[in-house]
């Protein structure tokens, strides 16, 4: 039947529909084979990549999901479905690591977490923030709580991390009060454009995520990436 469809119809829609039908009937291997054929026959179509990526995600095969979705991203970098699926693969990663922490917490074995997962919480944060620090023009990142106490910092500037974080937090809180005075809702983001560079501050009720950026870097080009890393940092810290 599969061969007949491929040779007779040779239609991407038909192949996708059939693959979907296979998935619904738990014929996962058949669906995967069909989607791989669809990819071979329609190298510029992203839909079969997405469908295959979804199957790998459901199976918990994160590496294969990322691999196939990255190929789709190369075809259509702006495609929202691909971006959402890639985002889901990243969440999977964080969730897996958090599950290990939670299991150990339940057993009262928090100190053993580092051995079990191999990834302490601080390292998880560092790993996320290092990705951002490698970006062009990023001069430093400071993570503080709502009171201005330092959680994490990495600066490529001759500044005192604690006092810089505390000062920016004070100003952020002041702006937050002003925003509330005008019923504008909760403050989410502040961008300071200063003579020496720009400062992004993303905030929640309990943390401030401060990113120091060179002056000549275009703000809009970094905003998406900073937001993405902020969301993942929030997930690691389990704050909303």
Partner 1 sequence: MKEILDDLISTKGVLGCYIVDKEGSIVDFKGAENIDENLISALVAEISNEIANQMNIPGNFSISALAGNGSIFMIAKKDFILTLLSTSDVDTGEVRLKLRRGAKLIAELL
* Cα distance between residue 82 and residue 88, in whole Å: 10
Q: How far is the CB of 223 from partner 1 (least distance, A)?
A: 10
If you search the block for the tokens 């997962």, which residue do you land on? 117
Q: How far is the CB of 120 from partner 1 (least distance, A)?
A: 33
Measured from the CB atom, the residue of 149 and 178 that comes closer to partner 1 is 178
* Cα distance between residue 76 and residue 70, in whole Å: 10
Residues 151-180 close enough to bind partner 1 by CB under 8 A: 167, 170-171, 174-175, 178-179
* Cα distance between residue 91 and residue 170, in whole Å: 31
If you search the block for the tokens 């991407």, which residue do you land on? 12
Q: How far is the CB of 219 from partner 1 (least distance, A)?
A: 9
Instruction: Output the CA angle 28-66-101, nearest 5 degrees.
Output: 95
For position 221 contacting partner 1 by CB under 8 A, the verdict is no
For position 9 contacting partner 1 by CB under 8 A, the verdict is no
Taking contact as CB under 8 A, which single stretch among the options 60-68, 149-157, 183-191, 229-237 is the one that binds partner 1? 183-191
Choose, by CB under 8 A, the member of 59, 96, 115, 186 that binds partner 1.
Answer: 186
Across 79-94, b (16+ Cβ under 10 Å) vs e yields bebbbebbebbbeeeb
Choose, by CB under 8 A, the member of 195, 205, 216, 240 that binds partner 1.
Answer: 195
Q: How far is the CB of 111 from partner 1 (least distance, A)?
A: 39
Contact 211, 132 (CB under 8 A): yes
Q: List, in sequence order, the alpha helices (H) in 119-160.
A: 121-133
Measured from the CB atom, the residue of 67 and 191 that comes closer to partner 1 is 191
Taking contact as CB under 8 A, which single stretch among the options 20-28, 33-41, 92-100, 186-194 is the one that binds partner 1? 186-194
For position 185 contacting partner 1 by CB under 8 A, the verdict is yes
Return left, alpha or beta for 142; rule: phi > 0 is left, psi -120 to 50 is alpha, else beta: beta
Residues in touch with partner 1 (CB under 8 A): 167, 170-171, 174-175, 178-179, 181-195, 220
């Amino acid at each position: 039947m599969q061969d007949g469809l491929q040779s007779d119809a040779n239609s991407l829609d038909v192949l996708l529909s059939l693959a979907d039908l296979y998935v619904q009937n738990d014929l996962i291997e058949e669906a995967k084979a069909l989607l791989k054929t669809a990819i071979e026959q329609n190298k510029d179509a992203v839909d079969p990549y997405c469908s295959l990526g979804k199957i790998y995600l459901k199976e918990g095969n994160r590496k294969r999901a990322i691999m196939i979705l990255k190929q789709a991203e190369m075809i259509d970098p702006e495609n929202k479905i691909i971006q959402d699926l890639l985002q889901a693969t990243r969440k999977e990663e964080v969730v897996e690591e958090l599950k290990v922490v939670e299991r150990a917490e339940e057993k009262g074995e928090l100190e053993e977490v580092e051995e079990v997962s191999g990834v302490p919480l601080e390292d998880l944060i560092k790993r996320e923030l290092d990705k951002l620090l490698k970006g062009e023009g990023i001069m430093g990142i400071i993570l503080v709580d709502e009171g201005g106490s330092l959680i994490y910092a990495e600066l490529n500037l001759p500044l005192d991390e604690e006092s810089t974080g505390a000062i920016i937090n004070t100003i952020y809180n002041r702006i937050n009060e002003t925003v509330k005075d005008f019923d504008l809702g909760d403050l989410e983001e502040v961008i300071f454009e200063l003579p020496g560079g720009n400062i992004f501050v993303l905030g929640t009720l309990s943390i401030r995520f401060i990113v120091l950026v060179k002056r000549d870097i275009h703000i809009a080009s970094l905003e998406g990436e900073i937001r993405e890393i902020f969301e993942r940092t929030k997930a690691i810290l389990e704050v909303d």
